Amino acid sequence: MTAPLDASLPDHSFSTESPPRRGHEAPIGIFDSGLGGLSVLRAIRAQLPHEALLYVADSLHAPYGARDNAFISERTLAISEWLVSQGAKALVVACNTATAESIALARARLAVPIIGVEPGIKPAAAQSKSRTAGVLATQVTLRSERFRSLIERYAADCHFICQPGHGLADAVERCDIDSPEVRALLARYIEPMLAAGADTLVLGCTHYPFLDAAIRDIARDRLTLVDTSVAIARQLERVLETNHLSAPADRQPAPPRLCSTDNGVHMHRLASTLLGLDGPVECVSIGTRGGTPDQSHAA
């Protein structure tokens, strides 16, 4: 761990007076309510090995899944502006919940390309033979207008069993991906889907791919899991190309810069055990617009 980063930073606001240079070499900013977006970072690293990556986990405020919309929008804007102030050339909102609630707002405020993540309703509908699929996502995602519209547009002929994954993001935040408690919670959510004939399960929260081994133990070969992280990485590649922002193909970037709004201990553990990223985690304080900055907790 390193000491809190931004005791010295003025605040999260993006200064338009002296904008950082945003060339091909600039990093891609990625964020999530917490550690879940590391599943997206993993896919981006595999797809775009020449890109520099800057990741923020808002673990001090995780989970977002039961928060109100205003809170999620405030955090999305504050973190997006902070990433831009650090020189990010494009942003990935690696959080279904933040995408559902606030990506439109972030796009309206910031002048960099912003890519979001959405539950894989379209691929699930394309592959389900039984025409019954489960969706595990946060309550905020499931009740959002964007989610309703995804179902209407791509899956009107498919029956979706939508289950809020209460407790699952908290478990991943604690680095608990296979305890008896987390397995029991998953079984409680997944077994009714199996009983209803589901053959496909959409992982509609970026925390859940880290639970895939436990999910496969419960579902065996009865469910095909749909995780959109690889599709997001490909979409990011297209957006960078269209905007002439891709890093040179011969570049060897430094390892991803990992930042957390809490003490970073769990982030370090998850990143090193599951992603092989053993570097330091920077503890950052990103205050909410108009509010008092959060206290950093040095590890």
- Please give the positions annotated as active site: 95, 205
For the bound state, the minimum distance from the C-beta of residue 189 to ligand DGL, rounded and expressed in Å, comes to 14
- Please name which of 64, 17, 22 lies closest in space to residue 247, comparing C-alpha atoms: 22
Residue carrying structure tokens 């489960």: 134
H or E segment at 115?
A: strand 114-116
Can residue 162 be called a binding residue for ligand DGL (CB under 6 A)?
no
Alpha carbon distance 229, 203 (integer Å) = 10
> Looking at 141, 163, 260, 285, which residue binds ligand DGL (CB under 6 A)?
141
DSSP string, 34-79: SSTTHHHHHHHHHH-TTS-EEEEE-GGG---TTS-HHHHHHHHHHH
Cα(173)–Cα(135) distance, integer angstroms: 21
Could you give the CA distance from residue 297 to residue 294 in angstroms, rounded to a whole number? Answer: 9
CB nearer to ligand DGL: give 27 or 165. Answer: 165
Q: Which of 3-11, 75-83, 95-103, 253-261 is the region at the interface with ligand DGL (rule: CB under 6 A)?
A: 95-103
Strand partners, 202: 135, 226
- If one asks whether residue 36 binds ligand DGL (CB under 6 A), the answer comes out as yes
The C-alpha atoms of residue 172 and residue 266 are separated, in whole angstroms, by: 9
Q: Does 206 bind ligand DGL (CB under 6 A)?
A: yes
Which of 12, 14, 28, 33 touches ligand DGL (CB under 6 A)? 33
Applying CB under 6 A, among 4, 27, 63, 209 the residue interacting with ligand DGL is: 63
The answer to whether residue 64 forms part of the interface with ligand DGL (CB under 6 A) is yes
Please name which of 135, 104, 140 lies closest in space to residue 121, comparing C-alpha atoms. Answer: 135
User: Binding to ligand DGL by residue 124, rule CB under 6 A?
Assistant: no
Confirm or reject binding of residue 210 to ligand DGL (CB under 6 A).
no
- Which listed residue (26, 44, 53, 62) binds ligand DGL by CB under 6 A? 62
Q: Which of 44, 124, 169, 182 binds ligand DGL (CB under 6 A)?
A: 169
Q: What are the Cα distances from residue 245, in Å, to 238, 249, 250, 263? A: 10, 12, 15, 33
Measured CA to CA, the distance from residue 56 to residue 82 in angstroms comes to 10
CB of 172 to ligand DGL, least distance (A): 8
- For position 201 contacting ligand DGL by CB under 6 A, the verdict is no
Residue 246 neighbours by CB under 8 Å, 6+ apart: 24, 50, 51, 237, 240
Q: Which of 207, 257, 266, 268 binds ligand DGL (CB under 6 A)?
A: 207
At its nearest, how many Å lie between ligand DGL and the CB of residue 246? 26
Closest approach of ligand DGL to the CB of residue 100, in Å = 8
Q: Considering the complex, what minimum distance in angstroms separates the CB of residue 33 from ligand DGL? A: 3
Q: How far is the CB of 88 from ligand DGL (least distance, A)?
A: 19
The contact set with ligand DGL (CB under 6 A) reads 32-34, 36, 62-65, 95-97, 138, 141, 169, 205-207
